[in-house]
Amino acid sequence: MTPPSAASALRPVLQVGRNCWQITQCDCATPVVDAADYFHYARLAMKAAKQRILVIGWDFDTRIQLEPSAGKAGQSLGEFFLRLAKDDPHRRIDILKWSFGMWTRLLNPTVLWMLWRWQITRAIEFCFDSAHPPGCSHHQKILVLDDRLAFCGGIDMSSARWDTSEHLDNEPRRVMPDGKPYQPWHDVTMMLSGPVAAALGDLGEDRWYRATSRHLSPLAPATHELWPEELEVHFKDVEVGIARTQAAYGEHEEVREIEALYLDMIAAAQRFIYIENQYFTSPKVAAAIANRLQAPSPPEIILVMPRSAEGWLEQKAMDAARVQLARKIGKHDPDKRFRIYVPVTEQGRDIYVHAKVMIVDDRLLRIGSSNLNNRSLGLDSECDVIIDAALPKNHHTPAIIGRLRTRLLAEHMNVSPETFAQAFEHEGSLRAAIDAVRRPGKTLELLDLLEPSALETFIAGNELLDPENADGFFEPLSERGLSKRWRQIRNWHPWRRRPTRNKPGATP
């Protein structure tokens, strides 16, 4: 753990215009782990909002329940919003969803009926976002309330997301809208209040205008409190960075702040890097890890990931690329400091990891929507929030970041946070602490790097489904590929870094 005195002596990693859009005041912030808690606190905050509820997401499903009950047909998300609109017709509810899958949703009679009811409700507006180049997606997951409170992270208000941190094998509430069960699901978001919420509101406003060519209505300054009383505040009076990815589109330039921040955070690591992420297919990130492992006093690097990606195509592209990159890293890691783990339940069932969390030396905390794949670094629209303990107002945060890291690992290892913290203090190593507290049942398992098939190797090696930018879909195979990107970043050094084209303080 980085003590406050050491944090004050460090140079901040966050640099406006290079690896973040802006650094903004945050009154309160708390990481929220798993969607059961997120949906609960979001529901309380949305009921308290007075002017606008702004939902920006990759997916959105009106049929889900925010507070599901076993065996009972509770209030759906669509009905909840109708109730909010009836209770206060002057409160705007604006929802923007990525346009992919639009027709599948509209062909469902239940969804179509709810959207029609929304359509005739003046306070609700539901729009689809297709304002991006072909092949891109809108992947941000942001909820902003009155520009005073916001959530930013990896959780969409959609089906197959709700789960508790216990990730039980038999959870009757973990079902799709049609009643079919889905696998245990792990995810994380960040709840923030103050000016940072207004900044995320500006980001949402910009996205709304791109998608609809219409501005959101202006808001009066909010003076009421939206933070749920029952939720403990972890971070008070801190500075938070906001980093983005956006593809070049129309008059808007490409933004690769998220990519730059990943590389900078890896280069800054001294003791350890702890990552939870859905994918690991970026050769730039992998090569940066290899570079750091070959430098003097390398850190240990722990990745917690799903065993396999969702969907047949994703498995062929993402899983095979992960194997190739992990093996490349292994050639530069004689001390086995790099490990990939898969969380499993008490009965050995895989827990799907959808979280996007990165913690470096307990001095850097990053939570957002971006994955460790090419798409998140230059193709899809993404948004991450970052706390850098080296910033003047953040010198007190390492202990708080350390408690989050401990809480996440304790959840995966099915031990108390105190037990894991004691093991880490005794062992001085995350790897050794994981081994020390391991027991049968709910735990972390090392990922088996199974040899991919010839088809999987071809798809992954040529980045057919995971290009670096929108033009990548049309590049000849000779101009792209895992090996080429790997070689490029293997020659990269922190002292050769050059600023991106983003201007400090520029609007999104």
What pLDDT, on a 0 to 100 scale, did the predictor assign at position 458? 47
Q: What is the mean pLDDT of residues 175-197?
A: 97
Res 19 pLDDT > 80: yes
Q: What is the mean pLDDT of residues 186-200?
A: 98
Residue type, 459: I
Q: Which helix (H) or strand (E) holds 263?
A: helix 257-268
What pLDDT, on a 0 to 100 scale, did the predictor assign at position 317? 66
Res 497 pLDDT > 70: no
At residue 37 the predicted structure's pLDDT band, cuts being 50, 70 and 90, is: very high
What pLDDT, on a 0 to 100 scale, did the predictor assign at position 4? 72
The separation between CA 87 and the C-alpha centre of its own chain, rounded to angstroms, equals: 33
What pLDDT, on a 0 to 100 scale, did the predictor assign at position 7? 72
What pLDDT, on a 0 to 100 scale, did the predictor assign at position 320? 82
Report the alpha-carbon distance of residue 10 to residue 2 in Å, rounded: 10
Q: Which of 141-145, 187-191, 222-226, 497-501 has the lowest mean pLDDT?
A: 497-501
What's the residue count for the chain? 508
Mean residue pLDDT of the chain comes to: 89
Res 170 pLDDT > 80: yes
Q: What is the pLDDT of residues 410-425, one digit of tens each?
A: 999 999 999 999 999 9
> What percentage of the chain has pLDDT greater than the value 70?
85
What is the CA angle 157-159-160, rounded to 5?
A: 115
Residue 270 near residue 299 (C-beta atoms within 8 A) = yes
Residue 368 near residue 152 (C-beta atoms within 8 A) = yes
Q: Which domains, and CATH codes, for the chain?
A: 28-236 (3.30.870.10), 241-496 (3.30.870.10)
Res 226 pLDDT > 50: yes
Q: What is the pLDDT of residues 42-54, one digit of tens each?
A: 999 999 999 999 9
What pLDDT, on a 0 to 100 scale, did the predictor assign at position 449? 78
Report the alpha-carbon distance of residue 167 to residue 352 in Å, rounded: 10
Q: If we measure between CA atoms, which residue out of 497, 459, 431 comes closest to residue 311?
A: 459
What pLDDT, on a 0 to 100 scale, did the predictor assign at position 460? 45
Q: What is the mean pLDDT of residues 217-242?
A: 95
Q: Which helix (H) or strand (E) holds 267?
A: helix 257-268
Give 152's strand partners: 142, 190
What pLDDT, on a 0 to 100 scale, did the predictor assign at position 2? 77
Within a 10 A sphere around the Cβ of 482, how many other Cβ atoms? 24
Does the pTM surpass 0.95? The reply is no
Q: What is the pLDDT of residues 76-101, one digit of tens each?
A: 999 999 999 999 999 999 999 998 76
Q: What is the DSSP letter of 17?
A: T
Q: What is the pLDDT of residues 352-401, one digit of tens each?
A: 999 999 999 999 999 999 999 999 999 999 999 999 999 999 999 999 99
Q: What is the mean pLDDT of residues 321-345?
A: 93
Res 483 pLDDT > 70: no
Residue 479 near residue 387 (C-beta atoms within 8 A) = no
Res 505 pLDDT > 50: no
Structure tokens at 322: 């992960």
Q: What is the mean pLDDT of residues 156-162?
A: 96
Q: What is the pLDDT of residues 135-151, one digit of tens each?
A: 889 999 999 999 999 99
Residue type, 40: H
What pLDDT, on a 0 to 100 scale, did the predictor assign at position 506? 39
Residue type, 223: T
